[in-house]
Amino acid sequence: MSSLPASAVEAVAGLRRQVSDLHQELVRYHLVVWTAGNVSARVPGHDLFVIKPSGVAYEDLAPENMIVCDLDGTVVEGELSPSSDTAAHAYVYRQLPEVGGVVHTHSTYACAWAARHEPVPCVLTAMADEFGAEIPVGPFALIGDDSIGQGIVETLRGHRSPAVLMAGHGVFTIGKDGKAAVKAAVMCEDVARTVHISRQLGEPQPLLPTDIDRLHDRYQNVYGQQQPPSQGVRA
C-alpha cells in the first residue's frame, strides 16, 4: 500500500517516469560516468520530491525504482536507498520554493573549472542567454549531510545563473522543473568546454554587463514560440 497522500499519487507516477527518463539525458550528453550524478523533481503542491536510487547503473533505472522523499530527505516511498546527494537536494527544495528540479553531474570540463575553484566567465552570448552572468563557484563541502545544499543555496540565491560549480566537486543546477535543470547542466558543460578551449588561444573577452542583461532578457522572455493571447468567447 502506498504511503503517499491520495492527492499526490498521480503526480508522483508521472514524475517517476519523467525523472527516470531525464537520467538518460545525462548519459546522452556525456555528463556522467558509471553511477555518478542524479536528477530530482519536486512534486507540485506537496512537500515531496522524486530522486534516483543510490549506486544503480543508468541502464537499470526505471520509473518503479525512483525514490520519493519528503523535504527532510526521508524516504516516503521506494524500496532502495536514495541518492547520496538526497540531503543536498532536500535542502535546496526547502530553501528555494520556486525550484522544481535539481541536477548534479561530474561533467568533465565543468569539473575542471570546479577543481580550480574558478568561475566560468560570461564571454559568450549563449552564456548570457542561459546563465545571465558567470557560472559561479560554491564552497567545498563533504557529501553526507545538507552542507552541499547550503553551499548551493548560498551561492545561487539572488544570482541569475541556474548552475553552480561546487569547489573540488562538480556541477549542481536548478530549474523550474527537472527538464529545465537538466538543460542547464547540458549548457553548463557546453560553455565550460568552449571557454576552456578559448583560453588555450588567449584570454577570452568578457561581454559588457549591459549586453548580458539585454541578451538574458531576450532569451528568457522573447526567444522561442510565444503563446498567442487568449481569445474571448463570442456570444
- Kindly indicate the confidence band of residue 225, based on its pLDDT and cuts at 50, 70 and 90: confident
Domain ranges of the chain: 6-221
Whether the Cβ atoms of residue 100 and residue 42 lie closer than 8 Å to each other: yes
pLDDT greater than 80 at residue 232: no
Question: Would you state the pLDDT for residue 230?
Answer: 54
Mean pLDDT of the chain: 95
- C-beta neighbour count of 215 within 10 angstroms: 21
Q: How many residues does the chain have?
A: 235
Question: Would you state the pLDDT for residue 233?
Answer: 39
Q: What is the mean pLDDT of residues 15-28?
A: 98
pTM of structure: 0.94
Distance CA 89, CA 86 (A): 5
Q: What is the mean pLDDT of residues 131-154?
A: 97
Q: What is the third-level CATH fold of 6-221?
A: L-fuculose-1-phosphate Aldolase (3.40.225)
What's the number of CA atoms in the CB half-sphere (13 Å) around residue 68? 24
Question: Would you state the pLDDT for residue 3?
Answer: 82
Closest CA to 54 of 38, 69, 68, 40: 38
Maximum Cα–Cα distance across the chain: 66
Q: For residue 104, with 0-12 CB atoms within 10 Å meaning exposed, 13-18 middle and 19 or more buried, which class applies?
A: buried
* Tens-digit pLDDT profile for residues 91-127: 999 999 999 999 999 999 999 999 999 999 999 999 9
Residue corresponding to grid cell 542547464: 184
